[in-house]
Chains A and B, each alone.
Chain A
Amino acid sequence: GQQVMQIPQYQHVQEGEDFTTYCNSSTTLSNIQWYKQRPGGHPVFLIQLVKSGEVKKQKRLTFQFGEAKKNSSLHITATQTTDVGTYFCAGPLQPIIQGAQKLVFGQGTRLTINP
């Protein structure tokens, strides 16, 4: 079945270092979403990418969607302790029903930071 794989599973960095997580889908995606889950919290929507090769930035966060729309990445520049958490990518499972989309989530990358 359709799978979304994410690497690495864990990443520990020193505060100020950069961080990148990668997401790969077994199928072409119509869109990809990224969520952040703080320790003890629930997933919070960060961004959605739709177009092939799309790049979006949110302050220190840069999101990319691959040309083939099968992979994506999230890069954080100069990490801060507030970036701690687990980052999930998610893609819609086909077929998409008008009005809703069932998401397949990657396993997430857990980011810890040494201050």
Chain B
Amino acid sequence: GAGVSQSPSNKVTEKGKDVELRCDPISGHTALYWYRQSLGQGLEFLIYFQGNSAPDKSGLPSDRFSAERTGGSVSTLTIQRTQQEDSAVYLCASSRHVDRPYYEQYFGPGTRLTVT
């Protein structure tokens, strides 16, 4: 079946502009996660959704970052007034809800954001 998809794959924006990054999780996956990966670095957790609610927003770097999820499916990560330090690959992942407490995450290809 189809995996996690993200769009756009690449985004170049000017400092100060707003950007929206989109994630389409695997159909039926109830949990959705956003991560950020800077060049050659590990994964930095940003936010996750269980259904449409976000129990934990503690990873968002600043109030310029926000995310929403509608219909238990598509999620949008919005960065307002982008700064150069926001340049990174933004990865989305989803996991399914089954009757066990441990869920492997399936990652999308990422959106490479470059702020000039």
Q: Determine whether the beta carbon of B105 is less than 8 Å from that of A103.
A: yes
For the complex, is A106 an interface residue (Cβ under 8 Å from B)?
A: yes
**Residues in chain A within 8 A of chain B (CB atoms):** 30-31, 33, 35, 41-45, 48, 50, 88, 90, 92-93, 96-108, 110
Interface pairs (21), CB distance under 8 Å: A30-B102, A42-B107, A42-B108, A43-B43, A43-B107, A88-B42, A88-B43, A93-B45, A99-B103, A100-B48, A100-B49, A100-B50, A100-B55, A100-B97, A100-B103, A101-B31, A102-B56, A105-B43, A105-B45, A107-B41, A107-B42
> Is B1 positioned at the interface, with any CB of A under 8 Å from its CB?
no
Query: In the complex, A90→B93 CA distance in Å?
Result: 14
Complex interface: chain A residues within 8 A of B95 (CB)? 100-101
**CB < 8 Å A-B pair total:** 72
A-binding residues in B (CB < 8 A): 30-31, 33, 35, 40-43, 45, 48-51, 55-56, 91, 93, 95, 97, 101-110
A93 contact set on B, CB distance < 8 A: 45
Decide: A102 and B48 in contact? CB cutoff 8 A.
yes
* B30 contacts A100, C-beta separation under 8 Å: yes
Query: How far does the alpha carbon of A96 sit from the alpha carbon of B100 in the complex, in Å?
Result: 12
| Known pairs A101-B31, A103-B45 / 19 extra A-B pairs, C-beta < 8 Å | A31-B102, A43-B93, A44-B107, A45-B106, A88-B42, A92-B102, A96-B101, A99-B30, A99-B31, A99-B50, A99-B51, A99-B103, A100-B30, A100-B97, A101-B102, A102-B45, A103-B105, A104-B45, A105-B35
